[in-house]
Chains A and B, each alone.
Chain A
Amino acid sequence: MIEESNQTDLNQEISPGKLAWRRFLEHKPAVCSLVFLILIVVLSLAWPKISPYSATALGDAQFDPPGKNHWGGTDVHGRDLVSRIFDGARISLLVGLVGTMVSLVIGVVWGATAGYLGGRWDSMMMRVVDILYSLPSVIFVIVLITSLEGIFKKWLGMLNPSWGQNVRILFLFCGLGAVSWLTMARIIRGQVITLKTRGFVEAAEALGLSHGRILFRHIVPNLTGIIVVYLTLTIPSVILYESFLSYLGLGIQAPQASLGTLINEGARQINPVKIYWWLLALPGSFLVSTLVALNFLGEGLREAVDPLSEKK
């Protein structure tokens, strides 16, 4: 009797997803980060509805320090900084998410194909990755974004000039995805090479399934854990990259804002006469805390999905 109940208990606990979730909950910084990130997402989505100030509404009070009226102060045009930050965070997070997804798709398809085909194809495809690694990615992304812009201006500019802003974000998705997939491809390739020799792949081959089906229906789903982990670790680097590009003036452009452009605006207001610290400190610390939270989340997920990676 007792043994039997133990047995069922064991069976219930054995679900790997549940085990991983439990391990995740034990990682306190990761759980706090998750709550924090959810809060940020909800707030940045809901803020325009709650706040009395629109992010783009110009006001009379220029450079108002943080106070009762404007919790985060105002900028050079009298716009409410808190509304601007949430506006920017929405775009930064969106770009981070979609850019990461693009890099995920490219990286998984490229890495999995190379690992699965093996041999000459594998070494050729990975050589491409090596070469792209040794080119400074800044150049690649700048050329990509400016040339996409040139092409789109020709085609879409005639159709509808007001699309400009949104098209810009689209370039960012592509450009950031195109430079961030290299590490993902390497990891996926390594995993596929070890999975390829496993019994279930052989079974699928024996059943006569096509290569594409074996690869994307049988092998890739086994990589979900590691993909999720690297996804959360790629998002902060993409957000950082986006801020950098916006800082260069290649990313989001006014009147739209991202965290990068807000920081840039704050940095430009530095002058020896009067210090407007909030313009730099608030978006800066918002960006840094988001990045820290995403990194903690990634670490927590890694320990949950792959407990062996934590060396005891």
Chain B
Amino acid sequence: MRKLIIQRLLGIVPVLLLISVASFLLVKVAPGGPFASDRNVSPEIARNLEAKYHLDEPAWKQFLRYMGNLCRGDLGPSLKYRNHTVNDVIAQGLPVSILLGLSSYLFALGLGLSLGAFTALRRGSWQEHFGSLFSLLMVCIPGFVLGPALIMLFAVKWKLFPVALLESPWHLILPTITLGLFFAGKISRLFREGLRETLTSDFIRTARAKGAGERLILWRHCFKNAVLPVISYSGPLLADLFTGSFVVENIFQIPGIGVFMVNGATNRDYPMVVGLVLLYAVILLILNLLVDLAYGWLDPRVSYD
């Protein structure tokens, strides 16, 4: 087991290298620089700025310099938010994004699993159709519709929740629903499929024949098998959630890192983009490793030898 973990962690390094090259190239190849959108910059100032951030050097030199700093854990300065380094932005925004991401994940998990179980157990009834329609609806309502709609109803009209910002747990509720509802729909569909497949398998029939109650069958025999697809979906899902959502952060004015990712790409702020993409990749790869470990724990038939 320990060997597996070490092996996988070492395997992450070349992947990260590839990803950093790819994202660096992507931003560098695109025309326009980080200072193109600044107004009234005289050519001298622009040249000085470029010299300060080494933008006047050839791209390979910039890349090597960047990678050298990266090895020391320095992701470089932001070219757009000039008083901040990328490390600052991550240190300030990541905890917020993780907090919101975790609460959304828990919300999605709770709602998704219960809705999935509800529809899978009421096969063929009107409740199943209703539940399936509901889960499809959740997948089809984008955050930029749901967020403003929730604000309009619950914050502006009925004044039950605060409109924006993140100051108390109370502030977290609307953003959590906005971010989590889509994933709740996804999880409920995955769990329903998993349950359906497991409920028709032979060992469940045996359990039934031995007289096990439906509740026992569901939680003791089915759950672990049926939840596997949800577990493997959780890796990329959590990586997405932890690195923030532009839409939700923008609507609710939450200081996470999702906004920086999008703004960095529009501004050609390459240290920002590469830094955040690398952060995303590291989180994704670690989560995928955790998912694989959880898989082995839930399903002993899976072995990694």
Contacts and interface: CB of A to CB of B under 8 A. Distances in A.
Nearest to A296: B136
Given A135-B23, A275-B156, A288 B243 contact: no
A247 B251 CA distance: 11
Contacts of B31: 147, 150-151
Nearest to A133: B236
A139 B265 contact: yes
B26 A267 contact: no
Contacts of A287: 142, 145
Nearest to A290: B140
A146 B156 contact: no
Given A146-B32, A150-B30, A240-B142, A267 B148 contact: yes
Interface string A242-277: 011001101000000000100110110011100101
Contacts of A272: 156
A188 to B, nearest CB: 22
B226 interface: no
B140 A288 contact: yes
B262 A143 contact: no
* Contact residues of A: prevailing secondary structure: helix
A67 to B, nearest CB: 20
B246 interface: yes
A134 B19 contact: yes
B239 to A, nearest CB: 9
A284 interface: yes
Interface residues of B, number: 44
Contacts of A143: 26-27, 30, 265
Given A270-B148, A281-B149, A275 B157 contact: yes
Interface string B260-286: 011011100000010001001100100
Contacts of A271: 156
Contacts of B27: 143
Interface string B141-183: 1101101110110001100000000000000000000000000
Contacts of B273: 139
Given A142-B262, A147-B32, A136 B152 contact: no
A151 B31 CA distance: 8
A292 B136 contact: yes
A288 B141 contact: yes
B299 interface: no
Contacts of B30: 143-144, 146-147, 150
B246 A134 contact: no
A131 interface: yes
B218 interface: no
B13 to A, nearest CB: 14
Given A139-B273, A270-B156, A277-B152, A146 B266 contact: yes
A244 B142 contact: yes
B280 A250 contact: no
Contact of A138 (B197, B261, B281, B284): B261
A44 interface: no
Given A146-B30, A243-B144, 4 more contacts: A136-B243, A146-B266, A284-B145, A292-B136
Q: Which 8 pairs, one residue from A and one from B, show the smallest C-beta to C-beta distance?
A: A147-B30, A267-B148, A291-B140, A150-B31, A284-B145, A142-B265, A139-B265, A143-B30
Interface of B: 15, 18-19, 22-23, 26-27, 29-32, 136-137, 139-142, 144-145, 147-149, 151-152, 156-157, 193, 196-197, 200, 243, 246-247, 251, 261-262, 264-266, 273, 277, 280-281, 284
8 contacts: A134-B19, A244-B142, A247-B144, A250-B266, A264-B144, A266-B148, A275-B152, A275-B157
